[in-house]
Structures are given as C-alpha cells and as structure tokens.
Amino acid sequence: MRSTSTDNFYFDDNATHAIGAAFDEACSSLSQPATADTARELIARRIIEAAKTGQRDQARGPQVLEPSSTTDRRQPLA
C-alpha cells in the first residue's frame, strides 16, 4: 500500500483518493472555476487540514469554502 506525505503526515491510498475527489468537487462548486494557483492552494490546504482530523467524506469538500471553516480547522467538516 502506498502512502502520501504532507508535512510528515501520511495518507493511505483511500484517503488520498478521497482528498483528490473532495478537491475536485470543491473547485467545481465555485461560481467561477478556481484557475488561480492561490485559490487552488487554499482549497487544497483546507481539505488536507480536514483530512488530518479524520474527515474522509468527499461530498463535504465544498464546505471548506464556507467562512465558518476557517474559524477552527481542528474540527471535522460537519
């Protein structure tokens, strides 16, 4: 089984797949596509932070774009 590292935090293949799917879903839910590198990086960082807390529901990916998601990133997306 492969694993992917981000800052010494490792995700297995299933988690990596869920993170990628959540990222794609979050980007596609924007009114304008996230083509700017900074926007895509912010989305990725928020999804990775949620994944570090154990969140694996890729359907909740777009929720990282909500303002409340920036207040306490230690909590799983709900």
Residue-averaged pLDDT of the chain: 71
d(CA 29, CA 45): 17
Q: Using pLDDT thresholds of 50, 70 and 90, give the confidence band for residue 8.
A: confident
**Residues 76, 60: Cα–Cα separation, whole Å:** 10
- Reply yes or no on whether the pLDDT at 26 is more than 70: yes
DSSP state of 59: G
Q: Are strands 9-12 and 3-6 parallel, antiparallel or unpaired?
A: antiparallel
Q: What predicted TM-score, i.e. pTM, was given to this entire model? A: 0.60
pLDDT at residue 69 in the model: 45
